[in-house]
């Protein structure tokens, strides 16, 4: 098989790494890819905002299977366009991807199908915001309706700040693009959990769970990012809780989308808050998470491409995933200034030394090749990912490797997995 992967980040590097291990795969193309992916796949340019350009690429390359990494091409209908032309592609249609591309759609969908989630209001102007906030207590969460690269969720300590935040989203001042509607949401307390599943539109198969660290600062402080680190362990969820989430959240979501004539094929990412009243859905994503994918795939022992093919062909029920016991962890190295403005083009050293650490993979998120030198090209630059028998072991390996890497202004959190480590030390 020739596999085409659309995207350029750490998630796509991990997908290419897993695809390379598949006995089915003879060639991997990544579009547009990055400096690290270029070592294991042929990288070709493409504009991920241009569906026609992606179709032309498929027509030129004739891939056996295309895997869509990021959310933007899904929201633009790349899956619909590929299917119309007979290309096999893993990912949801534009209609099904609304679970991620519209927060308002997702909340209203959950209400229709009684899927547990926070109380909310959808507002289209400042007057509606003012009325809605009368029914909430601070703190309150304000969300952009559309895609915002992990930056469209703002936790507001006061109702006044929530009102100002809503105005900033409507005006475009906060995200650079105007929102026609926003979601105001009850603030939930608990621990976040990333629960990802494969689906063929009918059946659901869970991946191992993970916990992301979205805030830029240690101790979970500062603004939200696309994710600064993640871990996954065999002990994160009891089997009974996994079954509960499947039966009350994941499976009803897949059934509901089928009932709405938008069957969901691909990865359903359920971002959960584990609260005192049980798991509540914070958000859906319609694709593999980043950096969750890095920590999840290094624990996968079975053939990823075989499983994705099964989803495309509607035979997921015949497929079983095998997972390594123990733990994995991914620590993100970011550019100074991220998630705000940052410099690019900075040389990176120590990558070979870091990669020599046993049970470690260095996945590139925002890198490029310049005169045979790997340089920074994004806010999140690298994801140093390690496995171990215990979480402590996996984290020690990841940080040991991270210590080998340098670029000007490198920043990474030193407390990934801190809550889980505290629990094990009690």
Check which CATH number belongs to the domain holding 30 and give it. Answer: 3.40.50.20
DSSP 98-120: HHHH-HHHHHHHHHHTT--B--E
Residue 233 structure tokens: 């362990």
C-beta separation of 100 from 285 below 8 A? yes
161 and 123 share a domain?
yes
Summarised one tens digit per residue, pLDDT across range 152-209 is 888 999 999 999 999 999 998 888 888 899 999 999 999 999 999 999 999 999 999 9
153 and 87 share a domain?
no
Which domain-ending residue is among 139, 169, 186? 186
Residue 401 structure tokens: 């490797």
Exposed (0-12), middle (13-18) or buried (19+): which is 131, by Cβ within 10 Å? exposed
| Residue linked to tokens 């308002």 | 104
- Look at residue 46 and tell me whether its pLDDT is greater than 90: yes
Q: What is the count of structural domains for the chain? A: 3
Q: In DSSP terms, which residues pair with 141 in a beta bridge?
A: 155, 185
81 and 151 share a domain?
no
- pLDDT confidence band for 422 (50 / 70 / 90): confident
Q: Which of 1-15, 56-70, 176-190 has the lowest mean pLDDT?
A: 176-190
Average pLDDT over residues 350-355: 94
C-beta separation of 360 from 397 below 8 A? yes
CATH number for the domain spanning 386: value is: 3.90.600.10
Which domain-ending residue is among 54, 75, 91? 91
Domain coverage including residue 168: 119-186
Residue 54 structure tokens: 């992606």
What pLDDT shows up at residue 424? 65
- Look at residue 30 and tell me whether its pLDDT is greater than 80: yes
CATH number for the domain spanning 173: value is: 3.30.1490.20
Summarised one tens digit per residue, pLDDT across range 242-283 is 999 999 999 999 999 999 999 999 999 999 999 999 999 999
CA atoms within 13 A on the CB side of 388: 17
Q: Is residue 239 part of a domain?
A: no
What pLDDT shows up at residue 33? 97
Handedness of CA 242, 362, 324, 66 (dihedral sign): positive
What pLDDT shows up at residue 148? 77
Q: Is residue 199 part of a domain?
A: no
- Look at residue 423 and tell me whether its pLDDT is greater than 80: no
Bridging pattern class, strands 2-7 and 65-68? parallel
Which domain-ending residue is among 186, 207, 224? 186
């Amino acid at each position: 098989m020739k596999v085409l992967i659309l995207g350029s980040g750490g998630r796509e590097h991990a997908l290419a790494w897993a695809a390379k291990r598949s006995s089915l795969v003879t060639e991997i193309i990544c579009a547009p890819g990055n400096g690290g992916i270029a070592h294991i796949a042929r990288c070709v340019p493409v504009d991920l905002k241009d569906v026609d350009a992606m179709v032309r690429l498929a027509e030129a390359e004739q891939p056996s299977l295309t895997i869509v990494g990021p959310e933007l091409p899904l929201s633009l209908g790349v899956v619909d366009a590929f299917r119309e032309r007979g290309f096999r592609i893993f990912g949801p249609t534009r209609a099904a991807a609304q679970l991620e591309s519209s927060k308002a759609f997702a909340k209203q969908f959950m209400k229709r199908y009684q899927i547990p989630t926070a109380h909310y209001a959808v507002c289209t102007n400042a007057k509606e915001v003012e009325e809605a906030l009368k029914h909430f207590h601070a703190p309150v969460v304000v969300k952009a309706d559309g895609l915002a690269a992990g930056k469209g969720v703002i936790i507001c300590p006061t109702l006044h700040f929530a009102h100002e935040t809503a105005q900033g989203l409507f005006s475009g001042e906060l995200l650079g693009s105007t929102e026609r509607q926003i979601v105001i949401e009850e603030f939930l307390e608990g621990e976040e959990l990333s629960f990802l599943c494969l689906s063929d539109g009918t059946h659901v198969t869970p991946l191992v769970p993970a916990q992301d660290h979205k805030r830029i600062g240690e101790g979970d402080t500062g603004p939200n990012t696309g994710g600064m680190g993640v871990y996954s362990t065999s002990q994160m969820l009891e089997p009974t809780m996994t079954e509960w989430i499947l039966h009350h959240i994941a499976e009803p979501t897949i059934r509901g989308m089928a009932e709405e004539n938008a069957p969901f094929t691909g990865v359903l990412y359920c971002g959960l808050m584990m609260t005192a009243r049980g798991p509540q859905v914070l958000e859906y994503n319609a694709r593999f998470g980043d950096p969750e994918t890095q920590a999840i795939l290094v624990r996968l022992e079975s053939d990823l491409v075989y499983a994705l093919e099964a989803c495309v062909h509607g035979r997921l029920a015949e497929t079983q995933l095998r997972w390594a016991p123990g733990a994995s962890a991914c620590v993100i190295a970011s550019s100074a200034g991220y998630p705000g403005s940052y410099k690019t083009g900075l040389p990176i050293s120590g990558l070979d030394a870091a990669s020599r650490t046993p049970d470690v993979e260095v996945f590139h998120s925002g890198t490029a090749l310049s005169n045979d030198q790997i340089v920074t090209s994004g806010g999140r630059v690298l994801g140093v990912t390690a496995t171990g028998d215990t979480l402590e072991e996996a984290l020690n390996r990841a940080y040991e490797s991270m210590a080998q890497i340098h670029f000007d202004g490198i920043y990474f959190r030193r407390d990934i997995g801190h809550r889980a480590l505290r629990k094990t030390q009690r």
